[in-house]
Amino acid sequence: MKIHNKRDTTKAFVTKDGSTIRELMHPAHHANRHQSLAEARVPPGTVTRLHKHPRSEELYYFLQGQGRMTLASESFPVAAGDVICITPGTPHQVENTGTKELVFLCCCVPPYSDQDTVLL
C-alpha cells in the first residue's frame, strides 16, 4: 500500500452530493487505516446536494473561494482559512457564491464512503 501520493496523479470523480473530489489518502488505495483526506471542488454558482453521513465525522478546511455552508438549520459564509466540523448525522451542503472554484480539504473518520452518504 502507498504511503505517499501526489494530487496531480489522483483521478477526480463526482460524489453523490455533486461535488468533484480527489481522494488524496484513502484506505482503499493507501496505507492509512482510519481516515480519508480528499480535495473537493464546487464550481461557481453551484451547490452540493443536502446530505448527511450517519457514521462519519468530517472536517472541511477551505483553501480557495467564497461560499455558504449549511449545517442543519444554520447557514453562514465560508472562505479560505475557515474550518468546519460536521458531526455524524448532521445535514449539510456547500454553495459556491463566488466567481472562482470553491476548493476545500475534507477529512473523514471513518473514511469517506458513498454507502455512508444519505441524500436528503
User: For 8-37, how does the pLDDT look when each residue is reduced to its tens digit (9 = 90+)?
Assistant: 999 998 989 889 999 999 988 888 899 999
CATH number at residue 107: 2.60.120.10
* Type of residue found at 17: D
The reply to whether 6 falls in a domain is no
Kindly report whether the global pTM for this prediction surpasses the value 0.85: yes
DSSP-derived letter for residue 11 is: P
Under DSSP, is residue 67 helix (H, G, I), strand (E, B) or coil?
strand
User: For 80-117, how does the pLDDT look when each residue is reduced to its tens digit (9 = 90+)?
Assistant: 999 999 999 999 999 999 999 999 999 999 999 989 99
User: For 43-76, how does the pLDDT look when each residue is reduced to its tens digit (9 = 90+)?
Assistant: 999 999 999 999 999 999 999 999 999 999 999 9
On whether the CB atoms of residues 94 and 66 are closer than 8 A, the answer is: no
The reply to whether 10 falls in a domain is no
Give the chain's domain count: 1
- The answer for 106, left when phi > 0, alpha when psi is -120 to 50, beta otherwise, is beta
C-alpha cell at 85: 466540523
Domain span at 48: 26-119
Strand pairing class (118-119; 92-96)? unpaired
The reply to whether 110 falls in a domain is yes
C-alpha cell at 112: 469517506
The reply to whether 12 falls in a domain is no
